[in-house]
Each structure stands twice: as structure tokens, then as C-alpha cells.
Chain A
Amino acid sequence: MTQAITAVAHDQHEHPPAGIMRWLTTTNHKDLGILYMSFGAIMFFIGGVLIMAVRAELLFPGLQLLSPGMYNQLFTLHALIMVFGAIMPFATGLNNYLIPLMIGAPDMALPRVNNWGFWILPFAALLLLIPFFLQFSGIGSGASGLGWVMHNTSLDLQGGIGVDFAIFAIHLLGLSSISGAINVVVTVLNMRAPGMALMKMPLFVWAWLITAFMLILAMPVFSAAATMLLTDRHFGTHFFDAANGGDPILLQHLIWFFGHPEVYIVLLPVWGLIPHILATFSRKPVYGYRAQVYALWAICFLSFIVWSHHMLTSGLPLAAEVYFMYSTMAISIPTSVLVFCWLGAIWRGAMTFETPMLFALGFVAHFGMGALTGLILPDVAVNAQYHNSYVIVSHFHYTFFGGGIFGMLAALYYWLPKFTGRMFDEKLGRLHFWLTVISFNMTFIPQWFAGLDGMPRHIADYALRFSTMNFISSVGAFLLGLSQLLLVYIVFKCVRSGPKATGQVWEGAQGLEFTLPSPPPYHTFETPPAVK
């Protein structure tokens, strides 16, 4: 009976409309998933090109290519684009495509909101980039050059139109993220197939549910801080203006109250998908399911009470510094639970090393290095030495790239045959992995040592003693950028001429999405599946 009713309801749009209108007007979760992921991939390459220019400037000491102002704009745009334009949209694309398939739902709960949330993104990206290009026509002073969290209050208040454009972009990105997060919560809590209890949900769905709650709590704070900055700049308020009784440190508190959970907003979806991949290629069930769910919740909670470890040199009282030091270190406990569960998943498994597994193991190794260096930095005494140095740059790239991007690449290779219905070239995939590992470490290990030696970040020039490390790092960055072009070729070749994929795709794959053909039909689970 249910089948009959849903069949009638969807009879009129069983096939997608053709052409550009399909992509402009679609409310289908798979279409929007592809759109989100494609947008994230395009922005990944734009952000990459920007940082290539930065690394070209840093190849040798002295100023060769860029003025300091242009240098600041480029690294700021790189950071904003990579975090908000590449990693977050790609993760949102994965959730759009996979969550309904994993919980046996026909679509996301709010499909029109889903479409609206996506089409905000290109305009937000344009807002970020427009002032950068306007400066070449003599309009304005370029894009914001204040770093991705704009935490230098006096410069924020005095900056040019680039700051205003960035503020409006942040509002749009916030709207998109919040609408997407509400959609995830409603979908997961309200659209699961009968029998799909919360503690039966795949870990990726759990991770995204928790991420969505984090976005709902953190993003409005960032948006409000941006609005307050806007009113300070143009409407005569004095929230942050010390000369008129405002509190400049307040802006840092507000931004980091968002900024630290944002790190986990980026990483949690990856932590949710890695156990699936490790389990598949180890031919074992997910290890420590409940422990991982509780650890993800614990990290969610802790991420909201540690923000000031980014501000340990801003003159906090000693008691606050000690509190933020220990609370930050406490995150290592649930994080260690996750890492040991990942290792437990592969322990004595019948492992094979296909490309997704290689990237998943690469994720574990590189994220482990990011996490361990993150355990050192909140130490108050150590932080005073390393604050604003290249140690920080190296650390957060091991978490964001070594953790975030490696995880996303693992997910892309794992589900690409499901998305396209075709297998990718395994040899080229493995070559992509090894090129990425070598060039990534070649880029960021030297930055760690340059930082230990005292090289500050956010500068276009440096002392001669940092030359060797910067040269190696720049060459590594160019190789890293070039090796990602191989990914484009692999995906293109897969879509054009890859051998047909089965519904199961991988021998050990489990989950509702692998019970469907590859690629899945336009409408799926109109009749809810029976989940035991």
C-alpha cells in the first residue's frame, strides 16, 4: 500500500529534467550532493592556485613577486576559500548524497531549503573574490588580508572594502551552513527507515548529526560577531572600539568561540567516514561503535569550552590560561578513543590496500601528527614561544589537510564508483596517493622546523637562516598542487571510460547505500527498506 501511494506521488518526476534547468532547480539530494562536491572541488583548486603564488613568493628571501599587502590578501583568501568554500561544501555534498541512502530515506527533509542553501554559496564566493579583482581597476584596496578569522581588531575596524565584502560573505556562508545543518538534524531525527534506531545508524550519519548541532550553536555567534563588526565600522556602535569604551578582545573571544568548534566541524564528518573505509578494507565490522559515538559527543562538548587556547598570549588571567590549557588537553582523551578504535578496526584484519584504504591510513598517520602537535600547543609556556609562528601553520595543515583533505579524498575514492557507476584507475589512484603523501610532508615538515627556529607567520619576507626550509617547502607545495591535477584526470577518466561498477562496489562494503545499484536511481527508498 505504501508502495502504491509513494509511486503515485513521484510518478510525475521519475526522470530528472534535462539540461541546465535540472541543476538550477533540483531538489534531489543526489543532484545537490554532486553540486556541493563539484563546487568544493572547484574552490579547492582556486584556493590552491592562490597559495601557489604565496609559496612562489616564499621560495627565496626578499620580495620578488608580491607586495606585502597582496601577500596578505592571498593567504587570507586561500584560508577562507579552503575552509568555507572547499572542505565544508565537499563534506556537505557527501552528507547530501549519502545520509538519505544510509538511513533509508527518500530525500532530505527540506529539499527546497537544500537547493537554496547550495545556490547561496557561489554568490558568497564571488563576494570574497570581487574586491580582489576590483583593486586592479583602481577600486578599493583589495580583498581582506586579515587572516581567516579576522582577529586583529584594530585592522578589522580600519580595513578597506575587502573587510565589508568578507563580512557579507560570512553572513551568506553562515545562512547556507545553518540551513544545511537544520536539514541534517531534521532528516536524521525524522526520516529514518523503520528499524533504523539511532544506535544502528552508520557512524558517518552520527558524525554529521553532531556536526550539525555544532554548526547550529557556533555559526550564529560568528555571524553576530561579523554583524557587530559591520555596525562598528559603519553605524557608529562601539562593541570592539577601545577608544570609545568597546572591548577589542571581545571580538577575539566571539570569533574563537566559533573558530575552534569550526575545526571539529571540518573534522567530525571525516572521523565519521573513516571507520567505514577501514572496516571495508579490513573485512571486519566497525570496531568500537558505541565508544566512537560517545567520543564524538564528548569532542563536540569539549570543543565549545576551549576556545581561548588560541588567545593565550592576549593577556588572559592566569586562572583562565590554566583552565584553557587543561580543558584543551582533555580533548586528547576522546580523540585517543577514536584513534585506538581506528587501529582496532584494522588489527588482524584481512587488509588490502586499494586507493581509499591508502588515503584512510594516510589520514590516520597525518591526523595523528596534527593531533599530537595540537597537544603541545595549548601548554601556556610553550604557546608563548610558538604563538604566531610557522609551528602553528604546520600544525593546522596536518589537521586540516592531513586530517580533513586526506579523509575527503579517501571518501571520494570510496564512493566515486557509487556516484558514477564506474570504477576509477586503481594504479593512478595509488600514484596520486604517494605523490600527495610525499609532497604534503615535503611542504609542511620544513615549516615545522622553520617555526621552531623562530620564523613568524603572515610575513612576505624572512631572515636568511630560514631560506633552506622555505625553499624545500615551496618545492613541496608546487608538487602537491601539481599532483592534485592527477585527481582531476582520474575522476574525468572514471566518468568517461571507467569499467562498470557493481552495486556492492567493494568486497567488504556494508551499508544500505551498497544494496542499491551504482549509480543509484534518481529516486531511492520511496518504499522504506526493512532494517533489522
Chain B
Amino acid sequence: MMSESNVINEHVKRGRRTVQLAVALALFVALIYTLTFSRLPVWLPALH
């Protein structure tokens, strides 16, 4: 059985990990969007 403070710490840690992961994934989405907008696929000569 975990102590009350350990449970609260675990809860806080989980909340922090949730935000960090969600922000990282949102930034990844923004990166893909920007790369596409910069016409990255045009640089792939095999497709032309």
C-alpha cells in the first residue's frame, strides 16, 4: 500500500508526463505540417 504522499507524487508526475507527451506530439504535428508546406517532397527526384 502506497503512502498518501507517494500517491499524490505519482499523480503529479503522471500529470506532468501527460502534458509533456501531448506537447511533444503537437510540436511534431506542427513540424510535419511545416515541412510539407516547404515542399519537401519536391526534393525527392525519383518521383519526377
Give me the interface of A with B, judged by CB distance under 8 Å. 1-2, 5, 109-110, 113, 178, 181-183, 185-186, 189-191, 216-217, 219-221, 223-225, 227-228, 239, 247, 249-250, 253-254, 257, 308, 316-317, 319-320, 323
Contact = CB atoms under 8 A, between A and B. Distances in A.
A178 B26 CA distance: 8
Nearest to B34: A224
B3 A1 contact: yes
A373 B32 CA distance: 32
Contacts of A113: 22
Nearest to B6: A1
A250 B41 contact: yes
16 contacts: A1-B3, A182-B26, A182-B29, A185-B25, A186-B22, A216-B28, A220-B30, A221-B33, A224-B33, A225-B36, A228-B36, A249-B47, A250-B42, A317-B46, A317-B48, A319-B46
A136 B37 CA distance: 36
Contact of B37 (A109, A186, A227, A247): A227
- Looking at chain B's contact residues, the main secondary structure is helix
Contacts of A239: 39
Interface of B: 1-4, 7-8, 11, 14, 17-18, 21-22, 25-26, 28-30, 32-34, 36-37, 39, 41-42, 46-48
B14 A1 contact: no
B4 A1 contact: yes
Contacts of B11: 5
A5 B8 contact: yes
Contact of A254 (B25, B29, B30, B41): B41
> 3 nearest interchain CB pairs?
A224-B36, A220-B32, A220-B33
Contacts of B46: 317, 319-320, 323
Nearest to A224: B36
Contact of A217 (B8, B32, B42): B32
Contacts of B39: 239, 250
Contact of A109 (B3, B18, B28, B32): B18
A290 B8 CA distance: 35
Contacts of A220: 29-30, 32-33, 36
B17 A190 contact: yes
A460 B39 CA distance: 36
A216 B25 CA distance: 8
B24 to A, nearest CB: 9
Contacts of A2: 2, 7
Given A1-B7, A190-B17, A250-B39, A109 B22 contact: yes
Contact of B1 (A1, A189, A224): A1
Nearest to B1: A1
Contacts of A223: 33
A163 B46 CA distance: 30
B47 A316 contact: yes
Contacts of B32: 216-217, 220-221, 224
A5 B4 contact: yes
A121 B48 CA distance: 37
Nearest to B32: A220
Contacts of A5: 4, 7-8, 11
A6 to B, nearest CB: 9
Contacts of A181: 25
Nearest to B4: A1
